[in-house]
Amino acid sequence: MENPEVAMVFEEIADLLEILGENPFRVRAYRNAARTVRELPEPVEEIVRNPNRKLEDLPGIGKDLAEKIRIIVQTGDHPMRQELREKVPPGLRELLDVPGLGPKRAWALYEKLGVKSIEDLKKAAQEHRIQRLRGFGAKTERAILEALEHLEQVQRRVYLAEAKVFAESVVRHLREVPELHQIEVAGSYRRRKETVGDLDVLVTCDRSAPVMDRLAQYPALADVLARGDTKMSIRLKNGMQLDLRVVPDESYGAALQYFTGSQAHNIQIRRMAQEKGLKVNEYGVFRGDKRIAGKTEEEVYAAVGLPWIPPELREARGEIEWALQGRLPKLVELHDIRGDLHMHTTATDGRASIEEMILACKEMGYQYMAITDHSKRVTVAGGLDAKALRAHWAEIDRIAGRIPGITVLKGVEMDILEDGSMDLPDDVVAEADWVVASVHYGQNQPREQITRRILNAIKNPYVHCIGHPTGRLIGKRKPYEVDLDAVLKAAADYGCFLEVNAQPSRLDLDDVALLAARERGVLIAIGTDAHSIDELRFMEFGVYQARRGALEAKHIINTRPLKELLKLLRQRRSSRA
């Protein structure tokens, strides 16, 4: 089983336990186990099968949870999940997919209104029955309707990080076929969109039958939906559809370009081809009935007078004009990143110590890093007040002093309070090397109020960067109302940096906002917001997002050598309104 499949079992157990009102600590243990498994950089199945490895060595995994993981890996499920499902009405758990609803409210709606499904919920909200319930009200009812609308738009899509697990796994699986020549996963996955609906796998091979037979043996397969001579469709256990297409060698580049998309980008390419008397489709580039190109993507683009365009840019957002003018950006690469500027330790809500995080960043080859535990407002995370923060910084200095080869910046993720003030006084944050300011509370405030809060932080010279600037959680929480244009303008005027938060559920700022930031000259910091060692690897998803925003290394501050970075930070501190 793939890690996301194991994690999904634990997540469902946690949801069902919470619906049934079980002990919150027990619920949290299953959620933490799911997170640990999902974030593992290696298949948990390999740990189970390796007699020299122990699941109990994983963070938060004791003897009981380790045994449950073994059972899930070996059988594909756990009896506990089936037992809990019998106690919770069918359809009730799907209510938890509605952003902001939560298990307690879902159970209340079931008990008092008989809501057993998404359709029941939508009907109850449209008939204004929810607002009459104690503890809900008209505002909550409107929020539920908005959340349902948002849910419909994102249903059946998974985070890029989860899609990547299955994409890479199925490629490894199919490469075992000797007859296979080339293989690539196309579609929105190849363009590195933040969510992926399905997987399009293209192959060239001597014979299609052995490749399709091998796909039918893929461990994560749930159903074979269709099989023909050149196409096979399956459904994976996580609900995604995977389409395998077998194409001739001479058409591979054309098919890859066509199925990578986007549709809008391909329409522009076809229009350019028509102007040259050519036809472009998934089989090649044709002049009349003669194929003149199509073996590689480079051939396809060259036939219409363009250089090869990176997949992340293929969204019809100006990339064709850049290509025609010879101005295609040299997109940032993962190896350009010299340090991670957002992470948490056990001092607040992280799951690794200061020393463990430093050693992990050093092993990744980073030149520097910033530890940014929470300020006091985030009580749920054990946020630090001024005294505790200063003690924490002293501990960072003490530990970093005996680990050579990496510079550790003393930082903080400081809350922007509901009234627009900062969670810590200036004389405290003035002692920090790196300050990220974020909104965690009051996210439903009016647009003007949210914007004013963020602008106050941008104008504060002790704040270096605005963390996850729109507060979105993909598929779960919409961005809060904020005048992003005003934020970008102020960031450019005051020299404040904006973050790409690399958590797969955030990827905030999004690609469109990053394009606008690029045009404004706003510099970006990519941070993983890691709460464990394994989450440090999320940097790649932040880089993917930056590439979709057409960012080059020069647009990102943590591609700079330490000396240049520190100079930028000093310049920010010297800025004034």
Give one DSSP letter per residue of 513-552, joined into a string: HHHHHHHHT--EEEE--BSSSGGGGGHHHHHHHHHHTT-B
Measured CA to CA, the distance from residue 450 to residue 420 in angstroms comes to: 8
Per-residue pLDDT of the chain (577 residues; tens, 9 = 90+): 788 889 989 998 998 898 888 888 899 899 999 989 988 888 899 999 998 899 999 888 999 999 999 999 999 899 999 999 888 877 777 787 777 777 778 888 888 898 888 888 989 999 999 988 888 888 888 888 888 876 665 556 899 999 999 999 999 999 999 999 999 999 999 999 999 999 999 999 999 999 999 999 999 999 999 999 999 999 998 888 999 999 999 999 999 999 999 999 999 999 999 999 999 999 999 999 999 999 999 999 999 999 999 999 999 999 999 999 999 999 999 999 999 999 999 999 999 999 999 999 999 999 999 999 999 998 888 899 999 999 999 999 999 999 999 999 999 999 999 999 999 999 999 999 999 999 999 998 999 999 999 999 999 999 999 999 999 999 888 899 999 999 999 999 999 999 999 999 999 999 999 999 999 999 999 999 999 999 999 999 999 999 999 999 999 999 999 999 999 999 998 865 4
Q: At what angle do helices 137-154 and 118-126 cross, to 10 degrees?
A: 140
* pTM for the predicted model, two decimal places: 0.85
Q: Strand pairing of 221-227 and 231-236?
A: antiparallel
Do the Cβ atoms of 205 and 179 come closer than 8 Å? yes
Q: Specify which residues 437 forms β-bridges with.
A: 414, 466
Selection from 250, 244, 254, 311 nearest residue 281 by Cα: 254
Which domains, ranges and CATH numbers included, belong to the chain? 3-154 (1.10.150.110), 158-246 (3.30.460.10), 251-324 (3.30.210.10), 334-573 (3.20.20.140)
Measured CA to CA, the distance from residue 546 to residue 526 in angstroms comes to: 8
Measured CA to CA, the distance from residue 551 to residue 24 in angstroms comes to: 43
